[in-house]
């Protein structure tokens, strides 16, 4: 009969049976429908009739459950329990069915009974914990529900009690610690939660516990600790995409953009060029001032998909910072075509116009931003927009507007007096400027930048001696400040007191701290020698700096230009300037130097190429316009020569007194302009 019993179970396929009084093991329901187990076991059954009946109803209940008939499944399970009331497994199944049907009270009752009947079995504990968690989640999500007898946190504490029991039963089950960690955090017990997640990490193969701890620290604003735990996670799983994304985002929030970039690079490799990751990478690169790489990433993204507003804005900003102004303008306009009142896009477009010398267009954008006061103030940018508007008006020579704006700003923010002081200087309203400067210095006698601005104003107002005395006084209390030595030497140079300028710089070289500061003063001293036409002394000093810093672009450019301007050793001059351009390929001043060197070598094709490129990057440099005038005169294009010389004179006159070009230089250009105009008049046919 024993063999017949097993033949019956073979026909039934695999299913769930109760083993003894302690529990149940689930199996598959038969494919063809329920079989009458009572009938199958009637003859010579080795089992007790009540137990066999229980098996039958239990199996039938599982079959109904598998076919989606919960009501019949529940009915059969109750019949199974009647004939086997001490079965933990049947209590477990009833609890599970009631939980699925939403009857929390009955589910809890049966699950608790299952735990009592088989306390060493972890399954009923898991089920009971999940019932409590579900009740807690429903109470938390349905605020309109009537108040239950147990508050939401009580449900959660009941779940925790079950997890703590599971911790004792299955101390190496990582799932228990993960569940405990989440519950403890929700109960406001972070120390216990962190300890639980640390235990999870001891037994788990993933870094999910470290991520949860990091999420907690991020939530309370401790980004350093959040980053530390995410770092631990990456030590465990270096290619965890979720952890890499979280860490990169934390670095962005911390402003640690240089640290964020390599994280997003790695994530980009793992995600096979995911567009979202590429945007994050571009954002970190832009904020880290790595604009070349940002452009590369964004252009690669644009080849795959249409850039959204954020990505386009990042691209426009990158073009702007690289001096690729036409591309910046085009890209930012595309953003505004989608979102016409986008504040960031408008601001950066204004900057692109400003840096391209299109001050009228820039001022219109800044003025509109200032007029949108509610939006600008909400973003905390109102004062910035005012400052840029004032600067644009100064460039346009609209001094009254700029001064009125800065005076208005100064009424609420004394810091605006600094811009007002510069506006008085630019407009040559020296009386007002000196009065304001004197008042400001009296209130802030140790403010070095203010002291420099006031001294420079004194010098431009024809009071160079007073300006020098003011900076000398500041040097008494700040003998290590590099800027003070440089500006004092400039005031002496403007007054042609070259010997005093040299003495100041030599004195500073013995007092400032750091090799970089000493090199700055040596550079200034070499420039003083060059202004006196002591070229050998200047060259010796420049080469001394290059011995210590062979890639110093500023020195390479100055030395190359000095040789080119004199028309000597032109191949050497070109090499120096090309070295300066190596890491600064869009520097307008360096491009002008290279174009001028080619002009002196009579390579007019390259001269035109680099001088025009320089003028694209620097719109208001009188020297570049002067050089272009010379070039086109040499090419026989007299009208172009005249126009460039005229613009050079206009810019110089506008900036007269600002130390841009000496009066002798401006006079030379004016003479060339007069000659060009005279030649053009003679060419005109007589009527």
Residue that is written with structure tokens 């252009």 in the block: 299
Show Cβ contacts of residue 502 under 8 Å, excluding neighbours closer than 6 positions: 489, 525, 528
Contact 52, 38 (CB under 8 A): yes
> Model pTM greater than 0.85?
no
Look at residue 516 and tell me if it is in a domain: no
Backbone torsions φ then ψ of 17, nearest 5 degrees: -135, 155
CA atoms within 13 A on the CB side of 618: 19
- Of 300, 327, 356, the residue that ends a domain is 356
How many alpha carbons lie under 13 Å from residue 113 in its C-beta half-sphere? 19
Domain region containing 288: 255-356
Q: Token pair for residue 577?
A: 């300037």
Q: 440 lies in a domain? A: no
- 1-47 pLDDT tens trace: 333 222 222 222 222 332 222 333 333 333 334 444 444 434 444 44
Q: How far apart are CA 687 and CA 684, in angstroms?
A: 9
Q: Is residue 308 part of a domain?
A: yes
Distance between CA atoms of 73 and 91, rounded to whole angstroms? 13
Angle at 323 between CA 319 and CA 325, to 5 degrees: 70
User: Which pLDDT value is given to residue 328?
Assistant: 95
Nearest to 650 by CA among 638, 636, 661, 640: 661
Count other Cβ atoms within 10 Å, centred on residue 386: 23
Angle at CA 540, nearest 5°, toward 538 and 546? 105
Partner residues linked to 25 by β-bridges: 17
What pLDDT is stored for residue 66 in this prediction? 92
Return the pLDDT at 48. 52
CATH number for the domain spanning 325: value is: 1.25.40.10
Tell which of 356, 389, 406 closes a domain: 356
- Tell me the angle at which helices 604-617 and 622-634 cross, rounded to the nearest 10 degrees: 150
Distance, CA of 574 to CA of 563 (rounded, Å): 9
**pLDDT given at position 638:** 93
Helix axes 88-101, 104-117, angle to 10 degrees: 160
| Residue 573 located in a structural domain | no
Is residue 264 assigned to a domain?
yes
DSSP 8-state symbol, 604: H
CA 355 to chain centre: 23
Q: Work out whether strand 17-18 and strand 24-25 pair parallel, antiparallel, or are unpaired.
A: antiparallel
In a domain, 348, yes or no: yes
644 in Cβ contact with 673 (< 8 Å)? no
Q: How far is CA 484 from CA 450, 477, 501, 505, 625, in A?
A: 11, 11, 12, 10, 32
Q: Are 338 and 358 in contact (CB under 8 A)?
A: no
What whole-number distance in Å separates Cα of residue 45 and Cα of residue 333?
Answer: 87
Specify if 40 maps to a domain.
no
Q: Give the residues of the chain that fall short of pLDDT 50.
A: 1-47, 49, 143-150, 658-661
Exposure string of 518-554, with b = 16+ CB inside 10 Å and e = fewer, is bbbbbbbbbbbbbebeeeeebbebbeebbeeeeebbb
19 φ, ψ (degrees, to nearest 5): -100, 105
Distance CA 601, CA 595 (A): 10
Buried b (16+ CB within 10 A) or exposed e, 110-122: bbbbbbebbeebb
Task: Locate 519 and state its tokens.
Answer: 């090199």
Question: What's CA 381's distance to the chain center, in Å?
Answer: 18
Structural domain ending residue among the three candidates 324, 356, 388:
356
Q: Please, are residues 313 and 344 in contact by the beta-carbon 8 Å criterion?
A: yes
What is the count of structural domains for the chain? Answer: 2
The confidence score (pLDDT) of residue 543 equals 96
Would you state the structure tokens that stand for residue 376, as one six-digit string?
């600008």
């Amino acid at each position: 009969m024993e063999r017949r019993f097993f033949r019956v179970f073979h026909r039934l396929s695999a299913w769930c049976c109760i083993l003894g009084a302690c529990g149940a093991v689930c199996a598959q329901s038969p494919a063809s429908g329920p079989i009458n187990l009572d009938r199958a076991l009637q003859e010579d059954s080795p089992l007790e009739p009540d137990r066999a009946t229980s098996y039958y109803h239990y199996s039938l209940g599982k079959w109904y459950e598998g076919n989606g008939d919960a009501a019949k499944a529940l009915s059969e399970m109750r019949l199974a329990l009647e004939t086997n009331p001490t079965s933990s497994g049947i209590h477990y199944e009833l609890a599970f069915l009631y939980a699925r049907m939403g009857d929390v009270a009955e589910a809890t009752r049966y699950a608790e009974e299952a735990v009592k009947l088989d306390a060493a079995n972890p399954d009923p504990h898991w089920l009971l914990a999940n019932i409590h968690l579900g009740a807690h989640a429903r109470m938390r999500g349905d605020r309109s529900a009537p108040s239950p007898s147990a508050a939401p946190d009580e449900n959660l504490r009941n779940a925790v009690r079950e997890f703590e029991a599971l911790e004792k039963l299955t101390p190496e089950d990582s799932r228990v610690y993960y569940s405990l960690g989440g519950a403890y955090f929700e109960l406001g017990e972070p120390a216990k939660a962190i300890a639980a997640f640390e235990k999870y990490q001891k037994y788990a193969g993933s870094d999910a516990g470290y991520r949860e701890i990091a999420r907690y620290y991020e939530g309370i604003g401790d980004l350093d600790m959040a980053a530390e735990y995410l770092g631990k996670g990456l030590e465990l799983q270096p290619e965890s995409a979720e952890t890499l994304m979280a860490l990169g985002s934390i670095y962005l929030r911390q402003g640690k953009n240089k640290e964020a970039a390599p994280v997003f690079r790695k994530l980009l490799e793992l995600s096979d060029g995911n567009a979202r990751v590429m945007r994050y990478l571009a954002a970190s690169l832009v904020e880290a001032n790595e604009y070349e790489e940002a452009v590369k990433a964004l252009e690669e993204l644009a080849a795959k998909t249409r850039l959204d507003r954020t990505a386009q804005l990042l691209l426009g900003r990158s073009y702007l910072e690289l001096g690729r102004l036409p591309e910046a303008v085009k890209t930012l306009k595309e953003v505004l075509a989608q979102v016409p009142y986008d504040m960031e896009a408008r601001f950066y477009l204004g900057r692109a116009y400003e840096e391209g010398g299109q001050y009228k267009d820039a001022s219109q954008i800044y003025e509109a931003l200032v007029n949108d006061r509610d939006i600008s103030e909400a973003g905390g940018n109102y004062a910035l927009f005012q400052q840029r508007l004032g600067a644009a008006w100064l460039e346009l020579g609209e001094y009254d507007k700029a001064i009125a704006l800065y005076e208005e700003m100064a009424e609420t923010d004394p810091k605006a007096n600094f811009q007002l002081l510069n506006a008085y200087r630019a407009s040559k309203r020296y009386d007002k400027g000196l009065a304001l400067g004197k008042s400001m210095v009296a209130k802030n006698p140790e403010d070095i930048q203010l002291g420099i601005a006031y001294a420079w104003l004194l010098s431009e107002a024809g009071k160079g001696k007073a300006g020098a005395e003011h900076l000398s006084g500041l040097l008494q209390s700040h003998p290590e400040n590099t800027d003070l030595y440089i500006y004092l030497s400039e005031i002496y140079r403007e007054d042609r007191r070259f010997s005093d300028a040299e003495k100041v710089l030599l004195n500073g070289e013995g007092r400032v701290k750091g090799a970089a500061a000493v090199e700055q003063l040596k550079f200034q001293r070499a420039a003083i020698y060059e202004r006196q036409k002591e070229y050998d002394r200047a060259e010796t000093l420049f080469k001394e700096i290059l011995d210590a810093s062979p890639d110093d672009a500023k020195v390479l450019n100055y030395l190359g230009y000095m040789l080119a301007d004199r028309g000597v050793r032109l191949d050497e001059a070109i090499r120096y300037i090309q070295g300066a351009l190596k890491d600064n390929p869009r520097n307008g001043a360096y491009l002008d130097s290279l174009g001028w060197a080619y002009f002196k070598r009579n390579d007019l094709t390259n001269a035109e190429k680099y001088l025009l490129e320089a003028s694209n990057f620097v719109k208001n440099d009188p020297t570049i316009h002067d050089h272009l005038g010379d070039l086109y005169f040499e090419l026989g294009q007299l009208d172009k020569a005249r126009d460039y010389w005229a613009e050079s004179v206009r810019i110089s006159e506008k900036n007269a007194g600002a130390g841009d070009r000496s009066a002798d230089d401006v006079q030379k250009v004016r003479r060339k302009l007069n000659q060009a105009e005279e030649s053009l008049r003679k060419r005109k046919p007589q009527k």
